[in-house]
Structures are given as structure tokens and as C-alpha cells.
Amino acid sequence: MDSLASLFSLSTLSVRAAEAQLLSLNEKSQEYGLTLTPEDAVALMQTRVQALNASGRVEIGSATVGRLAEAFCDSCWINQTHYAETLHELVELFYEMKNETEDRVSDAELIAFMKECFEDRCGGSLELLSGRELEKLAENVRFGAADYFDLSRETRFEEDRFAEEEEAGERDSGLTEEGGYE
């Protein structure tokens, strides 16, 4: 039975399950006036596939897209005009962050974190979410912070950087080591 492997490949298995789950995306979002057209849903699946490929990941089924839609559909910053576009970016960000956080953050935690930051700290800005809050989360994971989601914590990188800036500032102002001026 050395021919069994020929029946199965990751790409075949992933696409089959995603096709089965994709059409249920609108069930909850309709309550908030947000819907995806069939064309939007197909495009989202393509974005999902591209994002998975770009991040070197595999997902059986499209559970993540559904969970993102469900989490963000009640956002006060999203309207029908930008709904699909926002979901595309969130899907890309999500898979990128799964790698950046070294799979140490669960799907549920990451989606909840993205929603909370998007809604409160970032004022609906995906640019801020990506470049600031999520970057901070990735740093916390890389530097082994006890609480990955503590955004107030300075990372070792920032501590070193602040120390260098402080030292440079003291040099510029002429402060000596003893605290006096030259």
C-alpha cells in the first residue's frame, strides 16, 4: 500500500474543506448591515489562499475567515462600503501574525486582540493595528514577555534604545557621569 500517499496532497485537502464552509459567512454579519456577495466570498478565499501561501501555512477549512468576520462585523468603524476590503486585510494580517508570534498565541486570542485594538486603540485604522499594536505583540513574544498582550511593557529592544538615547542626550547636554556639567 505504498500508493496511498498519491491520493492525498495538502492543497487538495485544503481547498475541498474551504469550499464547503465559505458560504456561511453572511449569517451573523447581516444583523449589522454587512454582507458579502458571492464574488466577495470567492475573492476572500483567494486572499486566504494567497495569505496562507505567503506565510507558509496550511489551514483545513476556512474557519479563520468566518471567525474574523464574526468578530469584526459589529465594529463601529466598519461599514458596508469597506467591509470586504477590511476583511481582506485582516485575513492577511492574521496569518502573518500567526508566524510572527511563533504560533504561541491561539487563534481566539489573536482575533480578540486584533478586534480590541482595532476598535479602541487604533480607532479603526488597520495601518495602526498592523504597524503598532501587532508589531508590539510580536516583539513581546520574541522577547519572551510574561504577558504577550501587555502593550505598556517596554521590550528589551526599547529599553536598550531608550538607554542609548538617554546617554546620547546626556552627552549632548554636557552632563558628566557624576551629574555635573563639563
Partner 1 sequence: MNNSLSLFLTPEETAALQLRMTGLLAEEVLRFNGGQSSSIRTEAAQSLLESILYAVTAYLDTLPDPPAALKTRDIGELREQGIVLLRRYTDECRALLPKVRATRVQTELIAYNHTVGECFGEAFFRVYDPRFQAQAAPAGPIDYPLYRDDWSVTGILYVRNYLTQLLRENEFCARFPKNRIRALLLAHGLKHRIDYREMLQNIPELIIEGAPEQERPALEHMLTD
Which residues would be at the binding site for partner 1 (CB under 8 A)?
1-8, 10, 12-14, 16-17, 52, 56-61, 63-64, 95, 98-99, 103, 106-108
Please identify, using beta-carbon distances, which residue of 64 and 140 lies nearer to partner 1: 64
Please identify, using beta-carbon distances, which residue of 104 and 121 lies nearer to partner 1: 104
Q: How far apart are CA 153 and CA 6, in angstroms?
A: 50
Question: What is the closest distance, in whole angstroms, from the C-beta atom of residue 62 to partner 1 in the complex?
Answer: 9
Whether residue 50 contacts residue 7, with contact meaning beta carbons closer than 8 Å, is answered with no
Question: What is the closest distance, in whole angstroms, from the C-beta atom of residue 82 to partner 1 in the complex?
Answer: 25
Please identify, using beta-carbon distances, which residue of 6 and 81 lies nearer to partner 1: 6
Q: How far apart are CA 110 and CA 107, in angstroms?
A: 5
Contacts of 5 (CB under 8 A, 6+ apart): none
Question: What is the closest distance, in whole angstroms, from the C-beta atom of residue 144 to partner 1 in the complex?
Answer: 18
Could you tell me the three cell numbers for 77?
468603524
Please identify, using beta-carbon distances, which residue of 110 and 122 lies nearer to partner 1: 110
